[in-house]
Structure 1
Amino acid sequence: MSSPSTELTARMKIQDGVVKYGFIVVTIVLFLYFSATEPSFRTSGAIFSMLKYASVTAILGLGMTFVMAVGGMDLSIGSTAGLAVQMAAMTMVFYNLTAATAVVAVIAAGVLVGLLNAFLVVVCRIPDLLATLGVMFVIQGAKLIPVDGQSVSAGMTLRDGTPAPGKFDPAFLQIDRGSIGPVPFPVILMLVLTVASWFILDRTRWGRMFYAIGANAEASRLAGVRVDLFRGLAYVLCGLFAAVGGLILVSRIGQGDVNAGASSLLEAVAVALVGTSALGIGKPNAWGTLLGALLVGIVLTGLTMKGFQYYHQDTAKGLVLILALIFSFTISRNKARFISAG
């Protein structure tokens, strides 16, 4: 007959395995299932298309990862991506400026939103959920004012009745449509930003400060960490990553769609939470976020190929989010209870 301590150890090992490898197993099983039931799913074209779709989600999720690392949340990330879409389109279509100018304008807009969030959360001491929720609504309305609520496209009529003088620069459209060999630019950018985020968070002093603040901000402050600086930096990085995701999105659709970025908040939160749950790390991390984006991409691509309508996708995203929450909170809480019981 086994002793209570032996049973506890066995349960802990099983739970550790579930936490570390659960999402990896789920991702592989889903990929194999869709590959077996939909032959077109396993073609290189379909796989790269799936990775292209996942790239925007992953990049926004990486931005959210930095904010979650310091114990925060940014509800304006989807709206910021939508703002980037409108800014890029207006720069080229309304003002007939170059692709490079559009990129600079979008990056600047993302950083400014990040600075605004940092000001409200760090300087004004407004709870992050409330502050970023307010910014989200401001952006959603403000981005529609210059265009009278219309999507921006080449040849549209301006307020004065004249046609818009510009169009999307072909060089700008290469952000999404270009490739190096068979690998699309968005996939390369996703991988580069994932590696950069991993390096910052796991291999630099800055990353250690981010995690220390997220674990205990007051203890970090007493230890001499510039808590406000690093918290503010996390929101600025989130705004920057949202802008980059918006650049890919607008170059993909080729117009300033007023609804762009509407679902990005849920996706960014979901994949960042998967990152917290995956690999047993127990904290927001870049590779886990990438895994979460791939999981969402596999699910949505597979459902699309099976003929499910678009409105089923939100249900699938919600289920992924709930699964991530179960892993993040329920299993972690049980693990802590088992440890205390031992």
Structure 2
Amino acid sequence: MTTIGETAQPEEAGTPEGNHRDIRSASVFLRSGAVFILLGLMLGGFAFAEPAFINIGNLMSILQAVSVVAILGAGVTVTLAVGGFDLSIGAIAASSVMAASYAMIVWQLDAFATVPLVLAFGAAIGLVNAFLIVRLRVPDLLATLAMMFLLSGLQLIPTAGRSISAGLVLPDGSKAAGAYDPAFLLIGRYSFLGTLPVSVLLMGLVTLVLYVLTERTRIGRLMFATGGNEVATRLAGASPERLKTLAYVISATLASLGGVVIAARVGRGDVSSGGSLLMDAVAAALIGFAVLNLRRPNVLGTLVGAVFVGVLLNGLTMLNAPYYTQDFVKGAVLVGALTLTYGLGRNLDR
């Protein structure tokens, strides 16, 4: 304690107070930068082991590979913000792949009719999810799980379980006369200046728009308020039901956009597409909680999480790691990142 006329002296290094302050600073640094630290270590380690890993072509390949996961993860992030969870995004993306292929191969539509049609399909699924959750009070996990199973079966019915490609033989015995519109294929295959893929540009655009929506607008603040306390949202003069509906429509529409990118990339409607998208998108969204120690859904964190997983899988592939070990290594690294953020950082705070 200081007396009148005395001035408080700053804490010196080596004193208990100074040591505690240093520990707290280390804690904040670890919790804020754990994912970035691990990402930097992975980039350096893979580049050292395989110099080709760090060239611009491979880095763009990583971003292109994670673009769909990041887009779907952004949708999951929005539903998490309102206190929900969308398990149907993988099925919506897969159904959108089939819908886009069917529209061009069977109905012979062009890209300018197909893309809006598929996005409208996704928005409609989002409205159905919102109706089940908001109006009928079905728990979000159950409602979106039911929608996942519904869509997984529905996408197989028009073609009797066959993948869709040019020359498809329909269940009635007729042969589809359409083909993929070259303009549609540009969405998944074209790169600006031969370097920046369209899908990466879409990923950046989606991230930017949703970042502004969730972090810089009143709607975004109300979404987070809805996820924390619906009563507070009502007191602020907003409708939690409308905000939840908006969140699920955004999530499903983005899932359909991801399906469009996949269809344009592979050039066929594969019945097995979208199998791992749900888990990868959820992983990216949850890793986002740990980015910058925000501990809440955030779109930029989801993007970092998607890139984190993409770098890891690409590096393991380039090092010829056995495919059956990749999920284990991915899980181990993710556990490490989350432990640094939530476990070790918290212990250092004490």
Q: Distance in 1 between matches of 2:330 and 2:49?
A: 21
Please say if residues 271 and 289 of structure 1, whose CA atoms lie closer than 8 Å, have aligned partners that are also in contact: yes
Give the alignment of 1:90-169 within 5 angstroms.
90-169=102-181
Give the TM-score normalised by the residue count of structure 1: 0.92
Report Cα offsets for 1:155-203 as digits up to 9, x if no partner.
Answer: 1211122322111111111001112112111111111111111111111
Report Cα offsets for 1:89-122 as digits up to 9, x if no partner.
Answer: 1111111111122212210111011111111111
1:170 to 160, 166, 182: 182
For 1:109, give the aligned amino acid. F
Query: Counterpart in 2 of 1:18?
Result: 30
Q: Distance in 1 between matches of 2:340 and 2:240?
A: 28
Q: Distance in 2 between matches of 1:273 and 1:300?
A: 18
Please say if residues 188 and 265 of structure 2, whose CA atoms lie closer than 8 Å, have aligned partners that are also in contact: yes
1:231 to 218, 221, 244: 244
Query: Counterpart in 2 of 1:28?
Result: 40
For 1:265, give the aligned amino acid. L
Q: Distance in 1 between matches of 2:325 and 2:119?
A: 33
- How many aligned positions are there? 336
Mind listing any 5+ residue stretches in structure 2 that lack a counterpart? 1-13
Query: Counterpart in 2 of 1:65?
Result: 77
Q: Distance in 2 between matches of 1:320 and 1:147?
A: 41
Mind listing any 5+ residue stretches in structure 1 that lack a counterpart? none
Question: Within the alignment, does 1:250 sit opposite 2:263 as a pair?
Answer: yes
1:305 to 315, 318, 321: 318
Question: Within the alignment, does 1:217 sit opposite 2:224 as a pair?
Answer: no
CA 1:272–1:155 in 2, change beyond 3 Å: closer, same or farther? Answer: same
Query: Counterpart in 1 of 2:309?
Result: 296
Q: In the TM superposition, what is the alpha-carbon distance from 1:38 to its structure 2 partner? A: 1.2
Q: Distance in 2 between matches of 1:213 and 1:319?
A: 33
Give the TM-score normalised by the residue count of structure 2: 0.90
Q: In the TM superposition, what is the alpha-carbon distance from 1:291 to its structure 2 partner? A: 0.6
Report Cα offsets for 1:108-165 as digits up to 9, x if no partner.
Answer: 1110111111111111111111111111111111111111111111112111223221
Query: Counterpart in 1 of 2:9?
Result: none
For 1:236, give the aligned amino acid. V
Please say if residues 34 and 341 of structure 2, whose CA atoms lie closer than 8 Å, have aligned partners that are also in contact: no
The secondary structure found in structure 2 opposite 1:73 is coil
Q: In the TM superposition, what is the alpha-carbon distance from 1:211 to its structure 2 partner? A: 1.2
Please say if residues 89 and 256 of structure 1, whose CA atoms lie closer than 8 Å, have aligned partners that are also in contact: yes
For 1:16, give the aligned amino acid. V
Report Cα offsets for 1:278-301 as digits up to 9, x if no partner.
Answer: 012222112111111110110111
Please say if residues 32 and 341 of structure 2, whose CA atoms lie closer than 8 Å, have aligned partners that are also in contact: no
Q: Distance in 2 between matches of 1:289 and 1:204?
A: 19
Query: Counterpart in 2 of 1:287?
Result: 300
Percent sequence identity over aligned pairs: 41
Q: Distance in 2 between matches of 1:128 and 1:324?
A: 28
CA 1:240–1:270 in 2, change beyond 3 Å: closer, same or farther? Answer: same
Q: Distance in 1 between matches of 2:70 and 2:98?
A: 21
Query: Counterpart in 2 of 1:261?
Result: 274
Please say if residues 277 and 327 of structure 1, whose CA atoms lie closer than 8 Å, have aligned partners that are also in contact: no
CA 1:325–1:183 in 2, change beyond 3 Å: closer, same or farther? Answer: same
Report Cα offsets for 1:252-276 as digits up to 9, x if no partner.
Answer: 1111111111111111111111111
Q: Distance in 2 between matches of 1:186 and 1:16?
A: 35
1:40 to 52, 68, 83: 52
Query: Counterpart in 2 of 1:85?
Result: 97
1:186 to 189, 199, 202: 199
Query: Counterpart in 1 of 2:220?
Result: 207
CA 1:93–1:328 in 2, change beyond 3 Å: closer, same or farther? Answer: farther
Q: Distance in 2 between matches of 1:116 and 1:189?
A: 26
2:287 to 274, 292, 314: 274
Please say if residues 282 and 328 of structure 1, whose CA atoms lie closer than 8 Å, have aligned partners that are also in contact: no
Q: Distance in 1 between matches of 2:231 and 2:343?
A: 26
Q: In the TM superposition, what is the alpha-carbon distance from 1:221 to its structure 2 partner? A: 2.5
Q: Distance in 1 between matches of 2:240 and 2:314?
A: 41
